[in-house]
Amino acid sequence: MQTYLVGGAVRDKLLGRPVVDHDHVVVGARPEDLLALGYKPVGKDFPVFLHPKTGEEYALARTERKTGHGYHGFVFQADATVTLEQDLARRDLTINAIAEDAHGTLTDPYDGVRDVEARVLRHVSPAFIEDPVRVLRVARFAARFAPLGFTVAGETMALMQQMVRDGEVDHLVPERVWAETRKALTEAQPSAFLRVLRECGALAVLFPEVDALYGVPQRAEFHPEIDTGVHLEMVLDAAARIAPGNDLVGFCALVHDLGKALTPADELPRHVGHEHRGVAPLRALTARLKVPTEHAALAEQVCREHLNAHRAFELKPATVLKLLSSLDALRRPARLDVFLAACEADKRGRLGHEQDEYPQAAYLREARAVSAAVDAGAFIEQGLSGPAIGNAMEAARIDAIAALKATRSLSTPII
């Protein structure tokens, strides 16, 4: 029995990146061999075990054979006869198909080290086309490694395009699409995720509401980048800088402008009312992909209200309070933080505006603070009761926001 460090741990060591997860493959062993050593089984589809002391994953070397459509259409063989090279052959990309033994010696039958050095995402074998999840994984790795200069190999992109044409991507289950998308939104350059999916044709299949934004013009004085799809890419990358690793902010950024694809042609390049038009396609997307409730709810708030955030200094105090209340921000300030991060990303996701200040965020946080400071106790002492207390608190909060606003100057509106 021999064990090897494999996959991302080896790749990230070669790239000089922190190694987070240590995955191992075990060659020349049977499940009962690992059980006898105290390993705990966790795999359902194939034998995966947890080390009795470190808790790290150890998987028996295995091969796989395509038997049907989609992610589950495989038969696995995992026994003591499977070689390390056979196990590495089933992996998606060459940079993930490198193994390291206990002495630091690398096994690299598919030139993964070469592709790490060349900054290329390349498939291991033609069997790549058998698993549609790999289309999403390549796009996700592009989002992670684009800042290092990685690009998708031409022949790999050709295979991905073939998979889309053959309808393999149509068989992806919503849970897998969401899981990979959620991870991509935590990466350093999520725009690469969209670009790769769009180039292979998968964006139109999996995210038609997002794909529809490309080619839609906007007013150049507000959006020098003009193309709404390009704007979206810039917003996603701004969100990744403002809130690194936060997929909730990233998802809100992803879907905030879906309504612009529905603007009547005779109104272009203006998009009056796009924040309301965007709700229907947003709901369709979140329902189809089974997006978590909080992601869907906050994304809809960002879609509806991001223009009000941009115009915060122009809003009446009562409207500011209504905005805060709609976010439930007085009780849950973290929701306001997510909302404002997404709105700030929208502001900075414009050509030449990447470093713009966003004073609206500080103002709305202060408005939330002065509103939350209003306490019911003072009104109870005055003898008020029932609905009268709520009315008095609302009036006091509006007054507090009005006093705060008096100390602020108007900001240039963003459309």
Which of residues 67 and 411 earns the better pLDDT score?
Answer: 67
Is 70 a residue whose pLDDT tops 60?
A: no
* Residue 97: predicted pLDDT: 96
Q: What is the pTM of this model?
A: 0.91
| Distance, first Cα to last Cα, the chain | 64
Which of residues 411 and 235 earns the better pLDDT score?
235
Q: How far is CA 180 from CA 18, 62, 129, 196, in A?
A: 21, 23, 17, 14
Q: What is the mean pLDDT of residues 1-30?
A: 92
At the second CATH level, the architecture of 1-111 is 2-Layer Sandwich (3.30)
**Span 357-381, average pLDDT:** 94
* Predicted pLDDT at 374: 94
Q: pLDDT band at 69, cuts 50/70/90?
A: low
Predicted confidence band of residue 415 (pLDDT cuts 50, 70, 90): very low
* Helix extents (H) in 146-278: 154-165, 174-184, 191-200, 202-206, 208-211, 228-242, 247-255, 274-277
CB neighbours of residue 368 within 10 Å: 23
Closest CA to 256 of 195, 186, 339: 339
Phi, psi for residue 58 in degrees, rounded to 5? -125, 120
- Backbone φ and ψ for 57, nearest 5 degrees, come out as -85, 135
Percentage of residues of the chain with pLDDT beyond 70: 95
111-153 residue pLDDT tens: 999 999 999 999 999 999 989 999 999 999 999 999 999 999 9
Question: What pLDDT score was predicted for residue 382?
Answer: 87
pLDDT band at 407 (very low <50, low <70, confident <90, very high): confident
Domain locations along the chain: 1-111
**Alpha helix stretches (DSSP H) within 60-173:** 84-89, 112-118, 133-145, 154-165
Average pLDDT along the chain: 93
pLDDT tens per residue across span 71-106: 555 566 778 889 999 999 989 999 999 999 999 999
Mean pLDDT value of segment 267-286: 97
Give me the sign of the Cα torsion angle 243, 248, 254, 258: negative
In 3D, which of 329, 407, 339 has the Cα closest to residue 369? Answer: 329
pLDDT average, residue stretch 51-62: 90
Determine the pLDDT at residue 77. Answer: 76
Please write the tens of the pLDDT for every residue from 149-187. Answer: 999 999 999 999 999 999 999 999 999 999 999 999 999
What pLDDT does residue 414 have? 44
pLDDT digit string, tens, across residues 31-43: 889 999 999 998 7
Average pLDDT over residues 376-387: 87
The first and second tokens of residue 90, run together, are 């089933």
pLDDT at 372: 96
Indicate if the pLDDT at residue 45 is higher than 80: no
CB neighbour list of residue 45: distance below 8 Å, 6 or more residues apart: 76
Stronger pLDDT, 77 or 240, i.e. the higher one: 240
Q: What is the pLDDT of residue 199?
A: 98
Give the least confident one: 23-32, 273-282, 302-311. Answer: 23-32
Q: Which of 206, 221, 223, 290 is nearest to 257 (CA)?
A: 223
- Alpha carbon distance 83, 61 (integer Å): 7
Q: What tens digit of pLDDT does each residue of 307-335 get?
A: 999 999 999 999 999 999 999 999 999 99
